[in-house]
Amino acid sequence: MYKTTRAFYIGRFQPYHFGHHAVLSEIAKEFDEIIIGIGSAQCSHEPDNPFTAGERVTMIRHALDDVDIKHFAIPIEDIRRNAVWVSHIISMTPKFDVVYSNNPLVIQLFGEAGIEVRQPPKYKRDIYSGTKIRRRMIEGDGWETCVPDAVVDIIEEIGGVERLRRICMVEE
Amino acid sequence: MYKTTRAFYIGRFQPYHFGHHAVLSEIAKEFDEIIIGIGSAQCSHEPDNPFTAGERVTMIRHALDDVDIKHFAIPIEDIRRNAVWVSHIISMTPKFDVVYSNNPLVIQLFGEAGIEVRQPPKYKRDIYSGTKIRRRMIEGDGWETCVPDAVVDIIEEIGGVERLRRICMVEE
Amino acid sequence: MYKTTRAFYIGRFQPYHFGHHAVLSEIAKEFDEIIIGIGSAQCSHEPDNPFTAGERVTMIRHALDDVDIKHFAIPIEDIRRNAVWVSHIISMTPKFDVVYSNNPLVIQLFGEAGIEVRQPPKYKRDIYSGTKIRRRMIEGDGWETCVPDAVVDIIEEIGGVERLRRICMVEE
Amino acid sequence: MYKTTRAFYIGRFQPYHFGHHAVLSEIAKEFDEIIIGIGSAQCSHEPDNPFTAGERVTMIRHALDDVDIKHFAIPIEDIRRNAVWVSHIISMTPKFDVVYSNNPLVIQLFGEAGIEVRQPPKYKRDIYSGTKIRRRMIEGDGWETCVPDAVVDIIEEIGGVERLRRICMVEE
Amino acid sequence: MYKTTRAFYIGRFQPYHFGHHAVLSEIAKEFDEIIIGIGSAQCSHEPDNPFTAGERVTMIRHALDDVDIKHFAIPIEDIRRNAVWVSHIISMTPKFDVVYSNNPLVIQLFGEAGIEVRQPPKYKRDIYSGTKIRRRMIEGDGWETCVPDAVVDIIEEIGGVERLRRICMVEE
Amino acid sequence: MYKTTRAFYIGRFQPYHFGHHAVLSEIAKEFDEIIIGIGSAQCSHEPDNPFTAGERVTMIRHALDDVDIKHFAIPIEDIRRNAVWVSHIISMTPKFDVVYSNNPLVIQLFGEAGIEVRQPPKYKRDIYSGTKIRRRMIEGDGWETCVPDAVVDIIEEIGGVERLRRICMVEE
């Protein structure tokens, strides 16, 4: 009998960018479905986490609309206890076979739990990194080429650049 | 310009059944997309909440696979403070225009926030109610006809009936 | 040197009524200032806790406006650990000399901490009790005579009776 | 090479009584060491949880002083998410081989995690049950014969019976 | 009919100083009442938050005793989720018309919620800033001239300077 | 009548080392029993907190096996509110007479609560410090001589050095 195969991929997606896009395209070649965990879901309006989970769900969904990747986008709140984090992930998601991550802590935690972890190839991380894209947003330095058009639209609609700039200001 | 319209519908889906299915079909006639909030996402293995959020996501997705309803299934953890609950929902979901609910507290809270709430028609609630279906599971009384086939499959695969029966036992 | 004397009095004030009023008037005869702790501050929109902490602060302040009682009205969130509750109270309030309470748990906890507790005389508890007044609100049975005029005004302004009735409804 | 074998046994121990004692004696025959998890460690001063975790640790330690059972008594705070509870237990305790429990939820959760659970014989549960002993304390009905002498001493020293009676009173 | 106007002003008041005093005096000219939110109410005994919420309530109350500003001093615990923070504030306070703040995050969050925010003039921030006053306390460098006399009294009574110095020490 | 005397000693024990061992030996000369509080019990798999509470309990127990020190090893989760921390400790532990600590915050908090605090002599802190031993583990620089043999065994059995190295890696 045929069984659906699924991979789990987690990130904060602040914002969703072409680096994520490239990894998902790779994973889609090997698995039927991808579960996309949206980490630190409870965070927003912070310099490192400007967007809400809902906004990030919308970005991912729209960005993947015209690509043919069957996926689940699932907000995951932090549980702040590493020893139970894997159980927390498992409880919030459909069953998966493999985890894709380059994050050392994620690799260690799933590894200790006996779950297979694969490291996706890094795709131009000097350009496609959340930190760098947020810095470009603040400086008005061509961030729009780093993310899918659908993400540009959403960020503009919510005034995301203005939000990010404001919350990065220091009260004198 | 055309704008996507979205409705928000929340439930605990313990389990997803034909009552939910009927409501979603109705809503789908009026809105482009439906956001399905899976409430009490952090709960599982309780008599009233036997299934994990991940299991419920899987039920909803599979049940809707062959129906043509564009949707988002989003686990939502309880925040246990009614006064901030609407903000919590909004932060976890894509933007929506209308809420569908028959729950008095949900109606009151969205109402105070100035968001339109519509009450969906009730669909055979004497049969299609979570409480009644869980009781049938415990008693082995033909629960399978109350839920889509995909949901029967998932519950069987995870041993859901045995789980429910066990956690409803009282330690003597 | 003269030292300000203070008493601590805690309640949920759902809503503030003439029973509270009578106790505060008694305490005011013996102490310079009264600290009024508003318990379960994080609760609202529940059958037993319909009003927010902010609404309760407003009730207390307005009800005491024309009485000459120097007081502090301080919202106190539940900490759900009885063993640290007294420390929690102390950290949130100005220093006090005596506690007034008829609640057995409050008496026990402050007693174990070595703090003097006095039991205020009960003032017509068959009429002036939160539970009974909320029931009158639901039934439309003359609740207005049980609370100061200022409280009636506030409850009407926020649609408090409608709120309470709705959240007490059972979803069929 | 010889490896230490360990069993895990969890209870709330409100208070520690001869029923627990009998089970531990049985387990001690089969394992080198017993890990005693003291559940709901954050609770105290409640009708069902009158004693603090520290008081319960002291009861267990003193009661086992003259018995030759090598054990660890470990307070475990509730995590209120069944899906991560087993991981929580594992993170707080030395490694163990087997769980002893008659609680259906505990059996189910460890069972789903693939950990062996054994059900200890029930030892005169009509007499040796926390609920019944607490009722006897309230009614002054010979509770002292249900617990080891060391536990009687501790409860008397902390005024445990008076505490329990007071917190079970209802404020009129 | 005349309606009471209210402004909301939030700070941590570690400690209350003449900078706060100047702003409140300005606001008092335009509004009938001021709601003073005492932020991070659950924090104390930290280098940046040495004083408890109760101590800060006392400072504010005493400092405003001889000034004629009708106010509410309300401890507000952190909720650590920016997306629900405005709802949290609203639930804990009497209704207000305008927010006064120079904090970029506060401005952004109330702005997104459609609530008017005004920026108070900054009053000698090179002198009157919590950070600088705490540093002066540690160094014994004339902090007393930066705060009202009532605040000096309270800090001395609780041994505030010694507390701050100790908790800023580094364990070698 | 003879009364058991007890001292309380708290640390994070990441890992347990000869510095702790020396202090406990000193305390054991003056007290009948030592309560060892294992702080930040909920933390693990972090650069500063690599080991779980259960692993730390095991280290302490085994390291003290051949020394004759009667002790309780009690995991204590952080409560993140300094003002209630002392009550939290007291609720989780058997009664104690004196606290041993060199931590300024611990000294201040117990001091404000009127509990005697003694500062243990520092034992070769240039060598025996958790921070330094973790650094040696990462660098493979002879950490084994800083901890009892039993601790070396446990760390090797759980792959502790590999865990620590991995979680200290930075994702490029």
Identify the residue whose tokens are 């998932």.
B154
| Mean pLDDT within E57-71 | 92
Q: Are E70 and E31 in contact (CB under 8 A)?
A: no
In chain C, the residue whose alpha carbon lies closest to the alpha carbon of E58 is: C94
Residue F1 has pLDDT above 70, yes or no: no
User: Would you call B74 and A74 a contact, using CB atoms and an 8 Å cutoff?
Assistant: yes
| Mean pLDDT within F18-22 | 96
**D129 in helix, strand or coil?**
coil
Q: How confident is the model at residue B122 (pLDDT cuts 50, 70, 90)?
A: confident
Q: Are D18 and D146 in contact (CB under 8 A)?
A: yes
| Mean pLDDT within D108-135 | 94
Cβ pairs bridging C and F (under 8 Å): 24
Element (H, E) at C66: none
**Integer Cα distance of C62 and C82 in angstroms:** 32
Nearest CA to C109 out of D166, A50, F18, A37 is that of: D166
User: Would you call A72 and B91 a contact, using CB atoms and an 8 Å cutoff?
Assistant: no
In chain F, the residue whose alpha carbon lies closest to the alpha carbon of E50 is: F82
- From the list F81, F104, F125, the residue facing E166 with the nearest CB is F104
Q: What's the whole-number average pLDDT of chain A?
A: 95
Element (H, E) at D98: strand D98-100
For residue range A107-128, what is the model confidence (pLDDT) as tens digits?
999 999 999 999 998 888 889 9
- Mutation to test the D interface, candidates B45, B55, B78, most D Cβ within 10 Å: B45
**Integer Cα distance of C33 and D26 in angstroms:** 60
Side chain identity at A160, as an amino acid letter?
G
Q: What's the whole-number average pLDDT of chain F?
A: 95
For residue range F43-92, what is the model confidence (pLDDT) as tens digits?
999 999 999 999 999 999 999 987 888 999 999 999 999 999 999 999 99
| Mean pLDDT within E144-149 | 97
CA distance E14 to chain F (A): 15
Across chain F, where does the E strand assignment appear? Answer: 6-11, 33-38, 71-75, 98-100, 117-118
User: Would you call A81 and F172 a contact, using CB atoms and an 8 Å cutoff?
Assistant: no
Chain C residues whose CB is inside 8 A of the D168 CB are 104
User: Would you call A95 and B54 a contact, using CB atoms and an 8 Å cutoff?
Assistant: yes
Across chain B, where does the E strand assignment appear? Answer: 6-11, 33-38, 71-75, 98-100, 117-118
For residue range E149-165, what is the model confidence (pLDDT) as tens digits?
999 999 999 999 999 99
Residue E107 tokens read as 């401005």
CA distance C48 to chain B (A): 13
User: Would you call B42 and D81 a contact, using CB atoms and an 8 Å cutoff?
Assistant: yes
For residue range C137-149, what is the model confidence (pLDDT) as tens digits?
999 999 999 999 9
CA distance D35 to chain A (A): 19
Q: How confident is the model at residue D172 (pLDDT cuts 50, 70, 90)?
A: low
Chain D residues whose CB is inside 8 A of the F92 CB are 41, 52-54, 57, 75
User: Would you call E109 and A170 a contact, using CB atoms and an 8 Å cutoff?
Assistant: no
**F34 in helix, strand or coil?**
strand
Q: What's the whole-number average pLDDT of chain E?
A: 95
Chain A residues whose CB is inside 8 A of the D86 CB are 87
CA distance E122 to chain A (A): 9
In this complex, the chains that touch B, judged by 3 or more CB pairs closer than 8 A, are A, C, D, E
**Integer Cα distance of C150 and D31 in angstroms:** 68
pLDDT of residue B62: 93
pLDDT of residue C166: 98
Q: What's the whole-number average pLDDT of chain D?
A: 95
pLDDT of residue C172: 61
HSE-up (13 A, CA, CB side) for residue E59: 29
- pLDDT more than 90, % of chain B: 90
For residue range A10-49, what is the model confidence (pLDDT) as tens digits?
999 999 999 999 999 999 999 999 999 999 999 999 999 9
For residue range B20-40, what is the model confidence (pLDDT) as tens digits?
999 999 999 999 999 999 999
**Integer Cα distance of C99 and C119 in angstroms:** 8
- Mutation to test the F interface, candidates D74, D78, D87, most F Cβ within 10 Å: D74
Residue E23 has pLDDT above 90, yes or no: yes
CA distance F116 to chain C (A): 17
Q: Is the pTM of this model over 0.95?
A: yes
Residues on chain E bordering chain A, Cβ-to-Cβ distance under 8 angstroms: 80-83, 102-105, 107-109, 112, 122, 125
- pLDDT more than 70, % of chain F: 98
**Quick one: DSSP state of residue F65?**
T
In chain F, the residue whose alpha carbon lies closest to the alpha carbon of A122 is: F172
A68 compared with A89, residue with greater pLDDT:
A89
Residue D67 has pLDDT above 90, yes or no: no
Nearest CA to A54 out of E69, B26, D1, B6 is that of: B6
Q: Is the ipTM of this complex over 0.90?
A: yes
CA A108 to chain CA mean position, Å: 19
Identify the residue whose tokens are 């009574």.
E157
Element (H, E) at A153: helix A149-157
Residue C11 has pLDDT above 80, yes or no: yes
- From the list E75, E77, E92, the residue facing C54 with the nearest CB is E92
- Mutation to test the B interface, candidates C14, C38, C138, C167, most B Cβ within 10 Å: C167
pLDDT of residue B172: 61
User: How wide is the angle at C-alpha A21 spanned by C-alphas A18 and A27, nearest 5°?
Assistant: 150
Residue C110: C-alpha distances to residues C82, E23, E133 (Å): 11, 39, 35
**Integer Cα distance of F99 and F106 in angstroms:** 9
Judged on CB neighbours under 10 Å (0-12, 13-18, 19+), D91 is buried
State residue C69 phi and psi, 5-degree precision.
-120, 115
pLDDT of residue F172: 61
Element (H, E) at A115: none
**Integer Cα distance of F18 and F143 in angstroms:** 11
User: Would you call C167 and B103 a contact, using CB atoms and an 8 Å cutoff?
Assistant: no
CB atoms within 10 A of CB F122: 15
Chain C residues whose CB is inside 8 A of the F90 CB are 83
| Mean pLDDT within E31-41 | 97
Does an interface of 3+ CB pairs under 8 Å exist between A and C? no
